[in-house]
Copies of this chain bind each other. A is one copy, B any other.
């Protein structure tokens, strides 16, 4: 008898008809004797409507009230899912974040899960009841107020519940049937990856792949939660229920490197559009200068992604290039201007319409020449590289967004990822 956590996103629960399909997935596991906890998102579109209302009420709203408002979306889905399961003869009940409780810190709107005391949930599961838990939210114990985890937080909720329940697997049901070597909408020859390591998945998530939320992968990696990405639109009865100790190779299994027999050098190409590049030239190269630049941006909640620093020709100054979301560019520039006195002299250049393309693979660690191969391939297509950043298992380049698809297709082919 396995303990199974199943997470269903917004498009999988978009209406009562789709919730019935979700319930059939759950029924398959229950019928096999498994203990099941289900994490649900809000119905597709519901959260956007709630956010629009909050913004209409005031663009500068109290995050705690925002949280109370948007958390209602999952509450509705959880209740509906419980009702549908009951109508199929399955014992089930909904659990809201504060009922579990899923305890978070006080960073409303982007809270982190601190602790989930799993006793009540485990007791319910032991009594043969399916627990339907609202994703994306918890309660801040000090104030007893609802806190949400930020967009896509339901993946993190699912992994955290899997940790609390010591689940055998955390199955993330989504509208794609797994993790691909790259976005199949751009590269028709993209292949589904049967397995991918936590590290690779983490780099993919933070490089633009939207299949799993970065924080959920982090959490899964730290606690070794075997996580599967599956399609919720697959026929529920045609899938095999989870068994203890063996995990059927459907969808994509995100797991430790040791569970992947033969890693390829490169396992995926990720990309992110709508980036903007900011270059600060002739910044005085003094200790603490990076903090003076990025501190104010962080205080303004502007997410800085790739950072590249070069020493300028004169040796006393430095050039700093980094990316932000294109939508954040005007605000980022005014934050930097406001900090000019503290930072000291600098020249500012910026451009939007930038894409970040990343090549990811654990195999890179033991293979030389991966980067060189990337630069050569892009050069042959006449694609200019604006900045480069590397990590142990990833190489990212910034390019003109107009060349993003071409770059992704080229690299997908160069690294031998194209399906036969």
A interface list, Cβ under 8 A from B? 16, 19, 50, 53-54, 56-58, 60-62, 64-66, 68-69, 71-73, 75-76, 78-80, 82-84, 86-87, 93-94, 96, 98-99, 144-146
Whole-angstrom distance between the alpha carbons of A71 and B146 in the complex? Answer: 15
Q: Of B16, B64, B69, B84, which is within 8 A of A75 by CB?
A: B69
Q: Are the C-beta atoms of A83 and B99 separated by less than 8 Å? A: no
Q: Are the C-beta atoms of B69 and A57 separated by less than 8 Å? A: no
**Which residues of the partner chain B approach A71 to less than 8 Å between Cβ atoms?**
75
Q: Are the C-beta atoms of B62 and A83 separated by less than 8 Å? A: yes
Q: Are the C-beta atoms of A83 and B98 separated by less than 8 Å? A: no
Q: How far is the CB of A101 from chain B (nearest CB, A)?
A: 10
Whole-angstrom distance between the alpha carbons of A100 and B204 in the complex? Answer: 44
Q: Of B65, B79, B84, B96, which is within 8 A of A82 by CB?
A: B65
Q: Of B58, B80, B93, which is within 8 A of A86 by CB?
A: B58
**Which residues of the partner chain B approach A68 to less than 8 Å between Cβ atoms?**
75, 78-79, 94, 96
The verdict on A65 contacting B83 (CB below 8 Å), with A72-B76, A99-B144, A144-B99 known, is: yes
- Copies assembled: 2
Whole-angstrom distance between the alpha carbons of A327 and B304 in the complex? Answer: 62
Q: Of B50, B62, B84, B146, which is within 8 A of A58 by CB?
A: B84
Whole-angstrom distance between the alpha carbons of A343 and B371 in the complex? Answer: 89
Q: Are the C-beta atoms of B80 and A54 separated by less than 8 Å? A: yes
The verdict on A53 contacting B82 (CB below 8 Å), with A64-B93, A93-B65 known, is: no
Whole-angstrom distance between the alpha carbons of A84 and B66 in the complex? Answer: 12
Q: Are the C-beta atoms of A83 and B54 separated by less than 8 Å? A: yes
Most chain B beta-carbon contacts within 10 A, residue among A53, A65, A86: A65
Q: Specify the chain B residue showing the minimal Cβ separation from A16.
A: B56
6 closest Cβ pairs, A-B complex:
A72-B72, A58-B87, A69-B79, A57-B83, A68-B79, A61-B83
**Which residues of the partner chain B approach A69 to less than 8 Å between Cβ atoms?**
75-76, 79-80
Q: Are the C-beta atoms of A61 and B86 separated by less than 8 Å? A: yes
Q: Are the C-beta atoms of B50 and A65 separated by less than 8 Å? A: no
Task: Give 5 new A-B contacts, CB below 8 A, not counting A57-B87, A58-B84.
Answer: A50-B76, A64-B93, A65-B82, A65-B94, A99-B145
Q: Are the C-beta atoms of B53 and A16 separated by less than 8 Å? A: yes
**Which residues of the partner chain B approach A58 to less than 8 Å between Cβ atoms?**
83-84, 86-87
Most chain B beta-carbon contacts within 10 A, residue among A57, A94, A96, A144: A57
25 A-B pairs with C-beta separation under 8 A: A50-B76, A53-B80, A57-B80, A57-B83, A57-B84, A57-B87, A58-B87, A60-B87, A61-B86, A61-B87, A62-B82, A62-B86, A62-B93, A65-B83, A65-B93, A65-B94, A68-B94, A69-B76, A71-B75, A72-B75, A72-B76, A96-B146, A98-B98, A99-B144, A99-B145
Most chain B beta-carbon contacts within 10 A, residue among A79, A80, A144, A146: A79
Q: Specify the chain B residue showing the minimal Cβ separation from A146.
A: B96
Q: How far is the CB of A327 from chain B (nearest CB, A)?
A: 22
Q: How far is the CB of A42 from chain B (nearest CB, A)?
A: 10
**Which residues of the partner chain B approach A98 to less than 8 Å between Cβ atoms?**
98
Q: Specify the chain B residue showing the minimal Cβ separation from A81.
A: B57
Most chain B beta-carbon contacts within 10 A, residue among A16, A72, A86: A72
